Chains A and B, each alone.
Chain A
């Protein structure tokens, strides 16, 4: 409706809207800041920082036990999980116009890989299946959504022109798939990078991947070993596009399949018990659903649970994610000039690119872990880690965007150029990218609780530790709902500000492999 009204689209009114939205977000963030626990709680931050710095300069590759096996495990989980997700995600993308498929996909991708892993851990143990499923399930939801968007946005004239000849599949393979294929390929490569990150951090809950050794090394203060592990990780990600050839993929998959250890004996009994008993809220386990006593018991249980854990978890998750969102935005805006040709020359841009790649490739969980060592346990490390990671991604995207601007020859330079010529032009795109990250940030925020911040993940983790699976399951479910809520809010905002199309360019990964979303 608004799109017809021309006055809505004048730059002036748009600038006003952007300003309102940005100021509102900033104000909410300030209010959040008052409630957030953001003190530095350690007495010797510089000392620890010095140790970490020294470790980073003196990586020790030789003393790590099982370096290669944990590296191969990381890659094998990532390859098999991402591949499985790719296949199922593609199939679901074909029927994505069905409402319930969209809801199903939104739900499975709203639950973080680590939460899935914690769930499967109870049934399949620390097994190959747990690792693969933990990656494959949420990634399936993501692939389905992105592939459906790519298909929807690619040119459909050919499809329509021959709509009367041949069966559906033949027409699909001849007209839709060839056009979408390069986008699928580029996006899959990026997803695999995400898969390697996810696979690595699965080590934090015990799977034999790089994260397992990273956590051990960090918590024992063996920073040289930790640095070596991190460097290996960066190297693998940085060289991804060279070693991952589509022709070699079947071989990689086969090797990955053979490499991973056999699954332990699978127990249907255990699975049945887990689904029908363990995750059922405690007061309902009597079996009689319509018993008055039980219903009252359930409400009592829920209220107690909400009062002690759920409310705090939800509020902390929202507060932390909001602070992280706004800080990411600020970092993104401050950093994008380092990769923009309008502000710096080629050598500095290269340096800028490298540092942004390092920032965005380091999983948030590891960054938070590091920051906690330095700053002590509070929300600060999590905010820092989320902002650095997402800020680097935003900076890259906005920087690329600014490179396509043509600025008149007599334009100002430096800070004037930034404020008057560049910022106004990239701001809409920037906001679109930022809101798009919101969903990702809140997913990560929840999970960072595993490290001790009192977000929902903290309570999930402790519920699992106490073997109270009913509580864990309910909390995970709530996390997913919160995520879906935030996602739809960000979509409404994007629509209001007229940039649904802008944000989608993020998914439509360009056909080079240095896409970053």
Chain B
């Protein structure tokens, strides 16, 4: 059965307004692929993710680098936000004022998996950077979409938990494109690596064929 691409970009310059950040000659991502984006900061990772997001935003759980959490609300409410579309307005409003038991149980379970159980009803502004990142990840997971796009979603978490979280995210989504700054994580968990350097794609290969020299090219100065 021929599979249509999840994302396709051909011959495009991406960027904000007139400020070109990234040039892409041809890029396609198939359903089921788990892609890691590597590159120094400023190399165009965020720009690429955002343009992918705009291609089919309805189908995507997005985890931005700036997290986009509502700091005065609890972990519970922030994660629940992922499911606003699955409930009607009235239920959402009631749940905002007094959390429903079924939701508490369901999100409590998710928090177990991302090691946030004890913080379920804590306001996000009282959490550490790593815990906030996990909350944002929890919200993305709770959207239950087919495709996951993440912009360094585990950068503030220690490497043991980062591995756990990445495994979880990859298991729960059919297709994933995740920007990372840790090449170990990219090599361990992903089956394709795209490397960006100064606004251009310098590497796009199956993980099994990637060599140390290829990775070095991404980080050359």
Contacts and interface: CB of A to CB of B under 8 A. Distances in A.
Interface residues of A, number: 22
A157 B93 CA distance: 21
B180 interface: no
Contact of A174 (B63, B66, B81): B81
Interface string A152-179: 0001011111111111011101110011
A437 to B, nearest CB: 31
B77 interface: yes
Given A164-B58, A169-B89, 16 more contacts: A160-B68, A161-B62, A161-B63, A162-B81, A162-B84, A162-B139, A162-B143, A167-B85, A170-B84, A170-B87, A170-B93, A173-B93, A174-B92, A174-B96, A175-B81, A181-B72
B215 to A, nearest CB: 30
Contacts of A169: 89
B60 interface: yes
30 contacts: A155-B68, A158-B69, A158-B81, A160-B68, A161-B63, A161-B139, A162-B68, A162-B82, A163-B57, A164-B58, A164-B60, A165-B82, A165-B84, A165-B85, A166-B85, A167-B85, A167-B88, A169-B89, A170-B87, A171-B81, A171-B84, A173-B92, A173-B93, A174-B77, A174-B80, A174-B84, A174-B96, A175-B70, A175-B81, A179-B71
A210 B88 CA distance: 49
A254 to B, nearest CB: 21
B69 A166 contact: no
A235 to B, nearest CB: 33
A157 B68 CA distance: 4
Contacts of A179: 70-72
B205 interface: no
B94 to A, nearest CB: 11
A115 to B, nearest CB: 39
B207 interface: no
Contacts of B83: 165
Interface of B: 57-58, 60, 62-64, 66-73, 77, 80-85, 87-89, 92-93, 96, 139, 143
Contacts of B70: 158, 174-175, 178-179
Nearest to B67: A157
Contacts of B84: 162, 165-167, 170-171, 174
A157 B69 CA distance: 7
B4 to A, nearest CB: 20
A178 B64 contact: no
A23 to B, nearest CB: 38
B85 A174 contact: no
Contacts of A175: 70, 81
Contacts of B88: 167
Contact of A165 (B72, B73, B143): B143
A157 B72 contact: no
Contacts of A178: 70, 72-73
B73 A174 contact: yes
A170 B89 contact: yes
Of the listed residues B67, B84, B85, B89, the one surrounded by the most CB atoms of chain A closer than 10 A to its CB is B84
A160 B69 CA distance: 11
What 7 A-B pairs are tightest by C-beta distance, nearest first? A166-B84, A157-B68, A165-B85, A161-B68, A170-B92, A166-B85, A158-B68
Contacts of A164: 57-58, 60, 85
Given A157-B64, A158-B81, A162-B82, A167 B73 contact: no
Contacts of A181: 72
A169 B89 CA distance: 7
A182 B139 CA distance: 24
Contacts of A170: 84, 87, 89, 92-93
Nearest to A159: B68
Contacts of A167: 84-85, 88-89
A154 to B, nearest CB: 10
A182 B71 CA distance: 12
Nearest to B91: A170
A457 B61 CA distance: 59
Contacts of B72: 178-179, 181-182
Contacts of B67: 157
Contacts of B71: 179
Contacts of B85: 164-167
B173 to A, nearest CB: 15
Contacts of A173: 92-93, 96
Given A165-B85, A165-B143, A157 B66 contact: yes
A164 B80 CA distance: 14
Nearest to B58: A164
A170 B80 CA distance: 11
Nearest to A158: B68
Contacts of B60: 164
Nearest to B136: A161
A181 B93 CA distance: 15
A159 B69 CA distance: 9
A173 B64 CA distance: 21
A173 B93 CA distance: 7
A165 B69 CA distance: 15
A163 B143 CA distance: 12
Contacts of A157: 64, 66-68
Interface in A118-174: 155, 157-167, 169-171, 173-174
A166 B66 contact: no
A406 to B, nearest CB: 26
Nearest to A154: B70
Contacts of B96: 173-174
Contacts of B57: 163-164
Nearest to B60: A164
A156 to B, nearest CB: 8
Residue among B70, B71, B83 having the largest count of chain A Cβ atoms under 10 Å? B70
A48 B84 CA distance: 68
Contacts of A166: 84-85, 87, 92
